[in-house]
Structure 1
Amino acid sequence: MIRKLRFKFVMINMSIVTIMLGVILGLVFYFTRANLETESIAMMQNIASQPFHPGIPNESGGEVRLPYFILQVSPRGELIATSGGYYDLSNDAFLSDLIDMAFASPKAFGVIEGYHLRYYRVGTPIDQCLVFTDISSEVATLDHLTKTCLFLGGLGFGVFLAISILLSGWAVRPVELAWKQQRQFVADASHELKTPLTVIMTNAELMSDPEYSEAYKARFLSHILVMSRQMRELIEQLLELARTDNAESRPTVGTVDFSRLAANAVLPFEPAFFEKGLRLDVRIDRDISVSGETALLQRLMDILLDNALKYSSPGGTAWVTLQKQGNRRCRLVVKNQGERIPPEDIKNIFKRFYRVDRARSRDGSFGLGLSIAENIVVQHRGSIWAESEDGVNSFFVELPCV
């Protein structure tokens, strides 16, 4: 799929480039040809206005740039007089052919391709004047221009093709990354669902076996209920992640008292920390407000606090601080004493289904919470990151204040 997408990208780009090069080079050729023709005709008109004036042949004025000669013809088509210095005008057959070809066309201007001559015919009541100019240099110039345009067109096509191939990789990289992430997401979700489904099916089959007593069947039923709750929790988190990950979904904009929201979010967790023998230190500055959606910011606090609760060392301490960072930003920090997170895990900790401790999957931790938290922060135009040092794991969130 990615290769097809890159191929389409290159084809579209090269089609556009080919059309643009063709139009540009075509216009250059057209205007050059038209300019040469216009100058030649202007010269011929100037000569025809005074065809047989005395002077040096082919040096009759500033506009004269091409070799020329003049034929004066009677109304019956007979040659009367000639003028010109660069041509042998003694060949009557040659001149007769030129006169016949010039009068064969109804147009006053024309080109005799076989002789590389352009003619201009002017009639008077008593005779006809034919001015001929040599266009060999004009033809040579246009031939050279054609070759130059073809060379530049081919060179430009090759250069743009190489650039387009390079750009196609850069352009489709986000799509390729999203495609890989989607495939990985489906694989991880399938893996997480496979285990509880296997447990449920196994226990259901054992319950249908008459050899087991009612006590065993009660245990099997208990296992089914536990796995069913885990599946429901996982599905709910997947749906929540899909909602927060939706590019078209935007939080309802409103002013939220973040200080009060953070303080209220801590209250339900205080008994849980106390029961696990953990100390919770809370320092929240007052009057900090942000623009966003209350429900999403509440969910952000719940995820970070639940993460600190799960991964705190026995008898350890957790800290929650919320302070202003200058006049326009505020920083929320949730940290806890716990096992050090390796640097390679710090880089991946916000990825979906990523868990530092894989054994945590059986206690309802599926590695989706921090991904949901990251999506919430991004939707609120903020930033989130993690640090781990000296036995303390910290999660930082910066949001714009109002």
Structure 2
Amino acid sequence: MIKKLRIKLILASMFSLVVVLFVIVGGINILNIFQVIQRADMVLDILETHEGQLPKLSNLLDEEGDPAYTSPEIPYESRYFSVLLTEDGVALATDTEQIVAIDREDAIDFAQDVLVLGKERGFVNDYRYTVREESNGIRIIFLDCGRWLDTCRGFLLSSLCISLLGLAAVLVLITLLSSRIVKPVSDSYEKQKRFITDAGHEIKTPLAIIDADAGLIESESGKSEWLDDIQLQVRRLTELTNDLIYLAKMEESHDQLILIDFPISDLVEESVRSFQALAKKQNKTFRSQIQPLLSLHGDAKSIGQLISILLDNAVKYSEENGEIAVRLEKQGRTIRLSVFNTTPSIAKSDLDHLFDRFYRTDKSRNSQTGGYGIGLSIASAVVAAHKGKIAASSKDGKSLEITVTLPA
């Protein structure tokens, strides 16, 4: 449990950091691209106004009387070309005097590609273009944004590398510090388990004395309603105490399990035979489908208790004339055990809590069923000790299926 808590803490911290970095780095890089587009469009607007040429005048003013250039060097550092086409895409004229990397054929190819796209502005490779209709054709003007875009790409790569280094550093730090963060919870959890184990052993002694004294009184004065009730409650308390001790041991002693290869098919068949008679006595239909000759590497005793808990739960909480079904099969590298039973009703909200200690659905809170809502907690602990998975599902709210998946 504590290990899972540490993992969840690390994952939550890293996920939060990734989201924050994604927003910051992504926002900055998007802003850089937006500025490149804005700057390119400003130059293209001037090129459109002057028929594909940049006037080399640092004091050129725009329509509002402000300087048209953000920098007087723009006319000298900008590389651009233009192509005049007919509506059918036939080149009428080209102007590539202000660029060396593009010749006439390349310029015409770019222009014809843009004409097919049908957009007024956009990018072709590293060239920002604008389409302008003139009296004698369609002029497409291209501006070389390669240097600006290279700067953006370099910043993007640098920011990603720095972010990854930061994530790695935070991962190391949070991994080292997470043990200290969860230490109070870990200490409290360990104390709780020790208390349950110690208290359970202390309670077992007076319960045994009470049971022995009740038996002695019964032998001397005969049976009575009160003695029967005392003995019944002593047995129930003893059962609960043993379950709590077993659950605590399962949660704290995973490494002490005796793991061997054993025939799980035979174990399930034996348990099924034991509960079939009980189900038949209660007029309940009990079906089983067990794949033969399946073996499992695990603790046979705890797996046997797991099977008994699931079958007992199915028989106990199915209604009269209900249906119970057990299925054992191998799926790939796992062994899947499912126990199905009909039930008067079960809410979806109950499914997530069935494996919590002392949790029982409202309609099962009666003395007739016995139990304390701890059986499925033990089942979950056994499955966890074998590095498997356990889940509860209900398709119609009138049935319950508990599925256990264990590594074969």
Q: TM-score, normalised by structure 2?
A: 0.48
Q: TM-score, normalised by structure 1?
A: 0.48
Larger radius of gyration: 1
